[in-house]
Structure 1
Amino acid sequence: MKKNLLTRAWIGALLGALGAACALPAAAQEAQGNWLLRARAVRIDTANHSDAIGALAVPADAIHVNDKTIPEIDITYFFTPNIAAELVLTVPQKQRVTIAQSALGGPVDIGSFKHLPPSLMLQYHFIPEGTVRPYAGIGLNYTRIGSVNLAVPTVGRLDLEHNSFGLALGAGVDIAIAKNVFLNFDVKKVQIRTDVSLNGTKLSTVKVDPLLIGVGIGYRF
């Protein structure tokens, strides 16, 4: 009887300890807040890989989408101290397109388009309660392409495929600079690809695939 009571006491103590261990991360999470809002300036560095267009004497990788710096907002929600989801948002961005070499010579500015490229990332935060908090993530990018205004002189107007889905990889670090306030550095590589067509006939596939380098401020609540 005493042995059974002792066994039950040990089991109760063990369950209590396990419960406390599970509650500690949750309590720390509640103290920090589950939401992290960041505002960043992001440099878009485009890869600019494209198929050659023989009929127009355009070599491979000659279709260039311009680099630029854009504003960005991301919303991060922490499911646990280590695991979070990040939604990356910006406003529609206008990009210029240049053909570096063609039958018309080069470079030739052929116009512009707009794109809206939100990404959803699943992240792992390695030191969630440290002053320096590195993280890495993987996710999906969806880019909506519109307002296409592209034309090749003497050839005609060009069109772009309007939807692009691709992989997004990222890593970064949050550095605490005040209570709930962080300096953020972030790098992402995103797949953005579209087909270029003339009168419904595909001419080339352009792999924009930008490298995104960002710096900003975050607030956790």
Structure 2
Amino acid sequence: MKTKLSIAILTSLLALSPAAHANFSVNVGAINVNPDNDGSKINEAPTLGLKGDSDTQLGITVDYAFNDQWVLELIAATPFSHDVEGTGGLAGNKIADIKHLPPSLVAQYHFLDSSYALRPFVGVGINYTTFFDEQPSAALKATLGTNDVEVKLDDSFGFVAQVGANYKIDEKWGLHAMVSIMDIDTDAIVYANGAKALTSTVSLDPVVAMFGLKYSF
């Protein structure tokens, strides 16, 4: 009876061993957000639009490997800052400064196997972007004729598509590179003296690129 119980326990432990030895890794490096800007219009006017500049921050991603092929990645970074300027009839006019955080969760499929040093991957996932610390420009305040101006951007949910590669230097250290396209759409509202003055649907849809070091536990 004891022998059968011991065999059963050993079998259970062997079955659980992949989960017990889950592979975690952390990637740290430079991450750049470059907005697309093509779809941002003010008050639905085709000749008035907005664009944001690119920004590079410290990127940190955490990977959890379910097995040799499937990995779940959490993408995070220090806050991104963008100057928002007008386009079309508003070209050359700074509208606001904004900050945002776009954490994303991506399921990746890694090609080849762990014996290869260079392993490309593809991924799809979801993104949540939160905007904060929106600051109207002096030019916008002058245009609206008041210093009582607020700019508000709604938070956004969207999809993520990703390609990239990892290069293994040794069992612990490596290099990590990825490029993602994020679906980030938000409604921007400008208030003057507490009343709604301008509205805009902003489609950032940025290309996000990261390169850095990888450390596996």
TM-score w.r.t. the length of structure 2 is 0.79
- 1:162 deviates by 2.8
- 1:54 deviates by 6.2
Query: What residue in structure 1 maps to residue 79 of structure 2?
Result: 92
- 1:202 deviates by 6.0
CA distance in 1, matches of 2:125, 2:136: 31
2:178 to 150, 163, 186: 186
2:167 alignment partner AA: I
Counterpart check, 1:177 vs 2:164: no
Deviation digits for residues 77-134 of structure 1, max 9, x if unmatched?
Answer: 01111111100111222211111333xx531112201111100011111124021111
Query: What residue in structure 2 maps to residue 137 of structure 1?
Result: 123
CA distance in 2, matches of 1:218, 1:171: 16
Query: What residue in structure 1 maps to residue 214 of structure 2?
Result: 218
1:106 to 91, 96, 121: 91
Counterpart check, 1:204 vs 2:200: yes
- 1:138 deviates by 0.6
1:143 alignment partner AA: T
Larger radius of gyration: 1
> Contact between 2:40 and 2:203, CA under 8 Å: does it hold in 1?
no
- Within a 5 Å distance, the mapping from 1:15-34 to structure 2 comes to 26=18, 30=21, 34=23
- Within a 5 Å distance, the mapping from 1:35-54 to structure 2 comes to 35-53=24-42
Partner-residue secondary structure (3-state), 1:154: helix
CA distance in 1, matches of 2:183, 2:150: 22
Query: What residue in structure 2 maps to residue 66 of structure 1?
Result: 53
CA distance in 1, matches of 2:23, 2:159: 26
CA distance in 1, matches of 2:101, 2:42: 27
Query: What residue in structure 1 maps to residue 132 of structure 2?
Result: 146
CA distance in 2, matches of 1:116, 1:96: 15
2:28 alignment partner AA: A
- 1:187 deviates by 0.5
Higher strand share: 2
> Contact between 1:101 and 1:108, CA under 8 Å: does it hold in 2?
no
TM-score w.r.t. the length of structure 1 is 0.77
Where in structure 1 are there 5+ consecutive unaligned residues?
1-18
Among the aligned pairs, what percent are the same residue?
27
Query: What residue in structure 1 maps to residue 187 of structure 2?
Result: 195
Query: What's the C-alpha RMSD, in Å, of the aligned pairs?
Result: 2.6
Query: What residue in structure 1 maps to residue 6 of structure 2?
Result: none
> Contact between 2:53 and 2:83, CA under 8 Å: does it hold in 1?
yes
Partner-residue secondary structure (3-state), 2:27: strand
CA distance in 2, matches of 1:217, 1:197: 39
Report the number of matched residues.
Answer: 193
CA distance in 2, matches of 1:178, 1:219: 10
